[in-house]
Amino acid sequence: MSDIQNISRRSFIKNIGLTSGALIIGSHLSLFANETESVLAGAFQPNLFVELKPDGSLTLIASRSEMGNGVRTSLTSVIADEMEADWNRVSVEQAIGHKKYGDQNTDGSRSVRYLYETMRKMGATTRMILISAAAQKWKVLESECHAENHFIVHKNGKKIGFGDLVEIAKTIEAPKDIILKDPKDFKYIGKNLKSIDVEKYVTGSAIFGLDFRLPNMKFAAIARCPVTFGTVKSFDKTEAMKIPGVEAVFEIERIETPFGALGGVAVVASNTWAAFKGKEALIIEWDNGKNGSYDSVKYMEMLTENVHKPGVVSKTRGNIEAAFSASAKVIESTYQLPHLSHAPMEVPNTVAWVKENSCEVWCPTQNPQAAHEEVKNYLGFDDEKVIINVTLLGGGFGRKSKPDYVVEAAIISKAIKAPVQVVWTREDETQHGYYHTVSAQYMKASLDEKGNVTGWLHRFAFPPIKSTFDPTADYPNGWEITSASEVPFDIKNFQIEVGQAPAMVRIGWLRSVINIPHGFSINVFTDELAHAANQDPLAFNLKLLGEDSTPEDNKSNKFSATRLKNVLKKAAGNAGWGKPLPEGHAQGLAVHYSFMSYVASVVEVSMVEGIVKIHKINTVIDCGIVVNKNTVIAQMEGAAIFGMSLAFYGKITAKDGAIEQSNFGDYRMVRMNEAPKIEVEIVESTAPPTGVGEPGVPVIAPAIVNAIFKLTGKRYRNLPLSDYELV
Amino acid sequence: MITLVVNKKKHNLDASPDMPLLWALRDTLGLTGTKYGCGVGACGACKILVNDEVTYSCLTPVSAAVGKEITTVEGATPNLQLLQIAWIEFNVPQCGFCQPGQLIAATSLLNSNSNPTDEEIDDAMSGNICRCGTYQRIKKAIHHTVELKKQQK
């Protein structure tokens, strides 16, 4: 990640001078306060995130996007805790997209993992300045003062509020050596703070991108070619223009960058409904282009062929062929998983207002700096002439990391010289996404007489994410391999091979990314091996996970087999693994390490008239230090439902290049009547914080499939289960 | 000109009679608490009450609500307010986008059933999708609201 900019003493003072009355140590506001001031080029450390007013009110800046991940609460509560601030005096402002904040890309389950220490320092620095200010005012030693719940307190008992120290604090230099709190004194970190936005969510006053309004704002819908990267041959707008409220119809260009607009025909109207109706009334002849041949059934046959022949070896140790020929038993399986779509409840949308030399945007984006880059490049404006405001996101799941929809709004606003909100229909969202990859995987393993795994071959083919950045890329590489190649199994003879798979749609990352197919195949195959070895899957997995790691490894960010085995044992214990279950129930388990976190789940199922019912999911996560327990538990609950949805229903298919699904009727989600009881345990840890948003997903689908096998003796190796009419 | 009564307040609006209530509320009246999720009555994000009947506002034309009482998440009915308290108590929302529709569906349920079972909650709430997966907490919050009501009496 890029660094949050460092501050010099000079820019620190200069920045303070920008504000009236408030102690702002670096600020998002500066862009609006003084566009010509050179503070923009300067840096704002140590506290780009803190604004304390003389009345004691405290504004903390969230630099990452809020999409249900709880980040506006977790990151700011870390600052507040270190500051000894009163959480009731805190309000949170969302940062614009600007490189001074460092990496703002809210994906990869990285926000707390990357920013925990930095946010602690932001808070600690502010606390230390306030202590210095009080000591100066009282003419006492700093060491005789401490911060406590929005006051600085002297050892003789006198106290002064944070707000009353603002004027003196402005004159005090930031400390060189930052002293962090003792974790035993944490007030917010590791507790259960409610979301700072929860009241807005339940009263309907939360402003998502879709809710943002400007005076005289227009609404726009876009007809895009059903086939990825197809283009407009010709169009007839006569009927569209007859719809009351429709004001303009015109073609928009494709921007050929990874996050550029797809292009198509735009309908601008006085309200969203008219824009949607106008879009439906368009008659368009498309040039489908080279992706018009995409047929996902044939494509899966090709992928499967590619994994049934030797691939490109990307990792090998020992000699798998020798192991296979010397073994007592060889097991082979093939797994097929389809494309998935993100389906956030809030469709992609953006408000843009392009003026002659500047542009301001309001958008639900996970990646405001990428949005800034795309819009700036499209308009040819200077960096500081494009402002990306980040609204709340009605779900993201990776879709809103790709700001193609932001560029669309800029294109249309520039054309109509007015503010406009581009709104995707649900059908647009389903049919023009950046899809989770489609994959075929072949696995082969050998067992000795005792049921030990002596050889392991994992061969897979899927169009890689890299294809979105380089259309010629048709093999996975790097981290799209490691979730399989670094599987922490104690197997001597081991090989990873990859097969060819050219992309026919835009491939993107979706919550948990390649850990979904890899976590699935590895956990289902392991269960198959346990069965073939006539062993209990829990014992089999624990044996496969090998030797315990050192105590030092267990406290660091280094992979620890002990921690992985621990979550598995705990999940099994919590679920009553091996104990009697109600008649007709069975359990399955899965364990997976991703985003540096350790997760295991046990799923309990039954079947009624051939239909699978999930009764309970027990998940255990070890994600190091926890900032907000409520958020971690909520993310594990959500991951269980997300995992169930993809296991039950998740399937995007293409015919003649066009996506066949359109809305929640044919791209289904799990609903409340299917939702099981979900129990979550968080492992207490002093290790550095690791990922939370994604690592709960990969274990769910394999645990379900393993439970169904236990119950019925039938092994379902492809998803979704709706294809087998099991749900 | 069409007259709508929304949350006990009269609004005159210039809208085509076949415009769905969803867009009249959001784009014409600026009441953005009611959400667009699918446009086909499949997700429940747009749910409102029309004369106490739970209604998909994305499918219901403005003309069908003339002379009727419309309640949205911005309205203040006794059951909705208690549910909102319970939603906060149980930290229900994640991204929060679907929650207005969830709260309206739950309000409608409690308006007709003062002490629903789990199965009755499933029946009433399964028209609403939450992609973040907050179902378990929604169910707990509805049961908690029933308790809150008992305490009020």
Contact A347 B36 (CB under 8 A): yes
Q: What is the pLDDT of residue A717?
A: 98
**Does the beta-carbon distance from A423 to B36 stay under 8 Å?**
yes
Sign of the CA dihedral B7, B8, B9, B14? Answer: positive
Residue in A387, A362, A390 with CA at minimum distance from that of residue A376? A387
* CATH code, A9-196: 3.30.365.10
Q: Give the number of other Cβ atoms within 10 Å of residue B109's Cβ.
A: 21
Inter-chain residue contact A273 with B43, CB threshold 8 Å: no
**Are A208 and B97 inside 8 Å of each other by CB?**
yes
Q: Quick one: tokens of A23?
A: 């102690």
DSSP state of B25: I
pLDDT for A38: 28
Cβ contact A344–B33 (<8 Å):
no
Q: Could you say which residues from 187 to 246 on chain A have a Cβ atom under 8 Å away from some Cβ of chain B?
A: 192, 194-195, 197-208, 210-211, 213, 219, 244-245
Cα separation, A431 vs A262, in Å, equals 12
Q: Give the orientation angle of helix B118-125 with respect to helix B135-152, to 10 degrees.
A: 120
From the list B91, B96, B129, the residue facing A671 with the nearest CB is B129
- Give the Cα separation of A416 and A246 in Å (integer): 13
Chain B nearest CA to A634, separation (Å): 8
Domain A296-340+435-724 has CATH 3.40.50.1860: no
Contacts of B21 (CB under 8 A, 6+ apart): B48, B50, B55, B57, B60, B61, B62, B64, B65, B70
Nearest CB partner across the interface for B97, out of A213, A394, A664: A394
Q: How far away is chain B from the Cα of A279, in angstroms, using its nearest Cα?
A: 14
Rounded CA separation A411/B57 (Å): 31
Handedness of CA A270, A272, A278, A282 (dihedral sign): positive
pLDDT of residue A10: 31
Q: What is the mean pLDDT of each run of 10 residues along chain A (727 residues)?
A: 42 33 39 29 50 92 97 98 97 95 93 94 94 97 98 97 92 91 97 97 98 98 98 98 98 97 98 98 97 98 98 98 96 98 98 97 98 98 97 98 98 98 98 98 98 98 97 94 95 98 98 98 98 98 92 87 97 98 98 97 97 98 98 98 98 98 98 98 96 98 98 98 97
Window A:108-127, CB contacts with B under 8 Å: none
* Cis omega (within 30 of 0) for bond into A46: yes
Report yes or no: A144 at the B interface, CB cutoff 8 Å.
Answer: no
Q: At what angle do helices B78-89 and B135-152 cross, to 10 degrees?
A: 120
Q: Cβ contacts (< 8 Å) between B103 and chain A: which residues?
A: 202
H or E segment and range at residue A641:
helix A629-648
Backbone phi, then psi, for B106, in 5-degree steps? -70, -35
Domains of chain B, start order:
2-71 (3.10.20.30), 78-152 (1.10.150.120)
**pLDDT the model gives residue A246:** 98
> What's the token pair of residue A81?
């805790």
- DSSP for A262-309, written as a single string: --EEEEEESSHHHHHHHHHH-EEEEE-GGGGG--HHHHHHHHHHHHSS
- In A222-270, where does DSSP find H-type helix? 238-242
Q: How far is A203 from chain B (nearest CA, A)?
A: 6
Q: How far is B100 from chain A (nearest CA, A)?
A: 6
* Chain A nearest-CA residue for B32: A211
- Quick one: pLDDT at residue A45? 30
Q: Measured between CB atoms, which of A271, A630, A673 is closest to B27?
A: A271
Contact A379, A351 (CB under 8 A): no
Cis ω on the peptide bond leading into residue A720 (within 30° of 0)? Answer: yes
Contacts of A207 in chain B (CB under 8 A): 32
CA separation for the pair A409, A405 (Å, rounded): 7
Q: Which residues of B touch A648 (CB under 8 A)?
A: none
Pairing of strands A439-447, A420-423: unpaired
- The CATH 3.30.365.10 domain(s) of chain A lie at 9-196, 209-289+348-423, 296-340+435-724
Q: DSSP string of A598-636?
A: EEEEEEEEEEETTEEEEEEEEEEEE-SS-SBHHHHHHHH
What are the residue ranges of helices labelled H in A448-596? 479-485, 515-532, 537-544, 561-575
Euclidean distance between CA atoms A289 and A657, whole angstroms: 9
- Inter-helix orientation angle B78-89/B99-112, to 10°: 130
Closest Cβ–Cβ partner in B98, B103, B133 for A637: B133
Contact B48, B25 (CB under 8 A): yes
Structure tokens that stand for A284 in this block = 């368009």
Beta bridge partners of A287: A231
- Cα(A702)–Cα(A589) distance, integer angstroms: 7
Q: At what angle do helices A111-138 and A71-83 cross, to 10 degrees?
A: 30
Judge whether A518 and A436 are in contact, CB under 8 Å.
Answer: no
CB contact under 8 A, A345 and B98: yes
* CA distance to partner chain B, nearest, from residue A195 (Å): 7
Q: Do B129 and A244 touch (CB under 8 A)?
A: no
Q: Which of B43, B92, B99 sits opposite A664 (nearest CB)?
A: B43
A392–chain B Cβ distance below 8 A for any pair: yes
Secondary structure (H, E, C), A51-78: EECCCCCEEEEECCCCCCCCHHHHHHHH
The residue type of A55 is D
Contacts A642 to B, Cβ<8 Å:
131, 133
Whether A134 contacts A123, CB under 8 Å: no
**Residues, chain A:** 727
Structure tokens given for B138: 């929604």
Query: What DSSP string runs through A487-514?
Result: -----SEEEEEE-----SS-B---TTTT
Structure tokens at A392: 């709340």
Residue with the two structure tokens 């209530």: B21
Across the interface, of B42, B73, B136, the residue whose CB is closest to A637 is: B136
CA A527 – CA B24 distance, rounded (Å) = 54
Nearest to B125 among A345, A641, A672 (CB): A672
What's the confidence (pLDDT) of residue A3?
53
Kindly give the residue spans of alpha helices, DSSP state H, lying in chain B: 21-23, 78-89, 99-112, 118-125, 135-152
Question: How far is residue A199's CA from residue B93's CA, in Å, rounded to a whole number?
Answer: 10
* Interface ipTM above 0.90: yes
Length of chain B: 153
A275 and B CB contact within 8 Å:
no
Partner-chain residue, chosen from A197, A210, A663, that has the shortest CB–CB distance to B96:
A197
Closest CA to A172 of A346, A315, A371, A13: A13
Best mutation target among B97, B103, B119, B145 (most A Cβ atoms within 10 Å) is B97
Smallest Cβ–Cβ distance between A198 and the set B93, B122, B136 belongs to B93
d(CA A177, CA A171): 18
User: Residue holding tokens 């829990």?
Assistant: A538
Cβ of B40 within 8 Å of Cβ of A665? The answer is yes
Spell out the CATH class of A209-289+348-423: alpha beta
